[in-house]
């Protein structure tokens, strides 16, 4: 008998989406192999549904460094549809996603749409799917939100608005940590829509950690000890890794200046490697803050071989691919960041993390993991960096962050599609 099929559409748009979606796309492929072979589909709930996967890239991020490199590193197939949206104001970018995605959704008519994370593409596509009608009966896809329930309680963050709206139009909410369950309950979202599955970003980390260890980035950046060694900190001189891109941290010159001054003690003690987001690079030039940085070339390689931190300047390099960044993170003495995902990845790697924000939507990383919230004051950053550099605490890995989240998500998805068809 021919197996029953269902069409699953997955949307990615911006850099942090790629590592969250990659394991789901891989799990769909493995599930299908299980349906057609004797291996079975135990890991996805024994469903015999064949899943047709359609991958849509909105093009919110479009550079080789911000997008293409991640497809290669994470083994993601070429998108079936590319919307070519690009940059713009929040309204213009989201509106463009909405307009272009509606045509695609109407044409493809999937059974279920997966959106991940909290970027403008997540919100735009979820909204379209929640309001579409494929026929006179009002048929529409189920909407699944991966990484639901996270809340910073700071509505000044564009991502917070995206999270709240996406969660409230979604049919299936896949939660990464206990705070998400609480937040969704507090907002009145029915329990039956909510599934605690763990973290697909950590699925990617586990799948690619070994490969990342073979990255040549430590050599390229001259971070090896003179006695050599490979991969582990045994062969690596102590260094810090920095990322900063949040509009609230980099868009105002006084705030960015304050942060850079807060980092001076760290950067005169250790090399600080800073793969800088395009937004941040533009702001550094606009504010004339080049004096804080030794600017590397596009490949991330150093121009000179002098000790990186000799003059206390931060080493600014182009954004890195997934494997190189994972390698740098895993070997760092401390990571300083305002990213969401990096708080989770450092927790999983047991690497101390200083988050340059007043709040986090990922409190589990502070509660059981290696993360501390530094705030954005000079003193706060300086003290948090000092504390974390002396920390012996390697933290614990949160519940369900075990590399199997995508399988759990697919099990729920197959069950829900079958349930919907049976009524
Ligand atoms: C977006 C997400 C943010 C995420 C971040 C990760 C939203 C609201 N924000 O912010 O949650 O943490 O991605 O990177 O969706 N640019 C390039 N090349 C690119 C992409 C962007 O040069 O490939 C430049 C553009 O000039 C643009 C700026 O970077 O103006 C910002 O890009 P945008 O997508 O608007 O937001 P991000 O700050 O990247």
Residue nearest ligand 1's atom 25 by CA: 87
Mean pLDDT of the 169-180 span: 98
Mean pLDDT of the 182-205 span: 98
**Average pLDDT, rounded, for the chain:** 94
Cβ < 6 A, ligand 1 pocket:
14-16, 60-63, 66-67, 87, 118-120, 158-159, 245, 277-279
Q: What is the pLDDT of residue 235?
A: 81
Q: What is the pLDDT of residue 360?
A: 98
**Which of the two residues, 312 and 228, has the higher pLDDT score?**
312
Q: How far is the CA of 118 from the centre of ligand 1 (A)?
A: 12
- Give every CB contact of residue 146 below 8 A, 6+ residues apart in sequence: 20, 21, 24, 114, 115, 116, 117, 174, 200, 409
- How sure is the predictor about 302, in pLDDT bands with cuts at 50, 70 and 90? very low
148 forms beta bridges with 175
Q: How far is the CA of 389 from the centre of ligand 1 (A)?
A: 30
Residue 309 annotated to the active site: no
Cα–Cα distance measured from residue 216 to residue 237, given in angstroms and rounded to the nearest whole number? 15
275 forms beta bridges with 317
Question: Residue 232: is its pLDDT beyond 90?
Answer: no
- How sure is the predictor about 233, in pLDDT bands with cuts at 50, 70 and 90? very low
* Residue among 17, 60, 342, 360 to mutate when testing ligand 1 (max atoms within 8 A of CB): 60
Q: What is the pLDDT of residues 115-173, one digit of tens each?
A: 999 999 999 999 999 999 999 999 999 999 999 999 999 999 999 999 999 999 999 99
Q: What is the pLDDT of residue 227?
A: 58
Q: What is the pLDDT of residues 357-414, one digit of tens each?
A: 999 999 999 999 999 999 999 999 999 999 999 998 999 999 999 999 999 999 999 9
CB 40 within 8 A of CB 84: no
Q: What is the pLDDT of residues 55-100, one digit of tens each?
A: 999 999 999 999 999 999 999 999 999 999 999 999 999 999 999 9
The atom of ligand 1 lying closest to the CA of 247 is 38
Q: What is the pLDDT of residue 226?
A: 65
Residue nearest ligand 1's atom 2 by CA: 119
Which stretch of 3-7, 230-234, 339-343 has the lowest confidence by average pLDDT? 230-234
Q: Which of 61, 195, 245, 277 is catalytic?
A: 245
Q: How far is the CA of 61 from the centre of ligand 1 (A)?
A: 6
Burial class for 311, CB neighbours closer than 10 Å (0-12, 13-18, 19+): exposed
Q: What is the pLDDT of residue 298?
A: 45
Question: Residue 300: is its pLDDT beyond 80?
Answer: no
CB 353 within 8 A of CB 388: yes
Structural tokens at position 151: 């809340």
Q: What is the pLDDT of residues 195-218, one digit of tens each?
A: 999 999 999 999 999 999 999 999
- How sure is the predictor about 423, in pLDDT bands with cuts at 50, 70 and 90? confident
- How sure is the predictor about 303, in pLDDT bands with cuts at 50, 70 and 90? very low
């Amino acid at each position: 008998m021919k197996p029953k099929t269902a069409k699953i559409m997955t949307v990615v748009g911006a850099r942090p989406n790629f590592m969250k979606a990659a394991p789901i796309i891989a799990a769909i492929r493995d599930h299908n192999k299980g349906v057609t072979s004797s291996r079975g589909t135990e890991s996805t709930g024994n469903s015999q549904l064949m899943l047709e996967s359609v991958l849509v890239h909105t093009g919110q991020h479009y550079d080789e460094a911000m997008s293409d490199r991640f497809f290669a590193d994470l083994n993601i197939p070429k998108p079936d549809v590319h919307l070519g949206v690009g940059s713009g104001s929040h309204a213009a970018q989201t509106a463009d996603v909405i307009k272009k995605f509606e045509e695609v959704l109407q044409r493809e008519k999937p059974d279920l749409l997966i959106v991940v994370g909290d970027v403008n593409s997540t919100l735009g596509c979820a909204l379209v799917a929640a309001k579409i009608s494929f026929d006179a009966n009002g048929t529409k896809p189920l909407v699944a939100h991966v990484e639901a329930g996270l809340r910073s309680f700071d509505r000044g963050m564009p991502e917070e608005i995206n999270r709240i709206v996406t969660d409230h139009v979604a049919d299936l909410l896949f939660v990464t940590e206990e705070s998400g369950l609480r937040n969704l309950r507090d907002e009145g979202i029915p329990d039956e829509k909510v599934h605690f599955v763990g973290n697909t970003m950590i699925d990617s980390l586990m799948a690619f950690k070994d490969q990342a260890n073979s990255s040549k980035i430590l050599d390229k950046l001259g971070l090896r000890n003179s006695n050599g060694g490979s991969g582990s900190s045994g062969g690596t001189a102590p260094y810090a890794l920095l990322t900063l891109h949040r509009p609230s941290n980099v868009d105002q010159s006084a705030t960015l200046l304050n942060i850079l001054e807060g980092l001076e003690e760290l950067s005169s003690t250790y090399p600080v490697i800073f793969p800088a987001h395009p937004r941040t690079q533009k702001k550094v030039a606009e504010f004339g803050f080049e004096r804080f940085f030794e600017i590397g070339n596009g490949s991330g390689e150093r121009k000179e071989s002098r000790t990186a931190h000799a003059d206390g300047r931060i080493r600014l390099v182009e954004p890195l691919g997934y494997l190189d960044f994972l390698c740098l993170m895993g070997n760092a003495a401390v990571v300083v960041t305002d990213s969401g995902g990096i708080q989770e990845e450092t927790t999983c790697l047991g690497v101390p993390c200083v988050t340059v924000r007043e709040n986090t939507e990922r409190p589990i990383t502070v509660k059981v993991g290696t993360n501390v919230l530094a705030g954005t004051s000079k003193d706060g950053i300086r003290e948090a960096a000092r504390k974390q550099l002396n920390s012996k605490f390697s933290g614990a890995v949160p519940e369900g962050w075990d590399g199997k989240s995508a399988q759990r998500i697919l099990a729920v998805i197959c069950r829900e599609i079958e349930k919907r068809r049976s009524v």
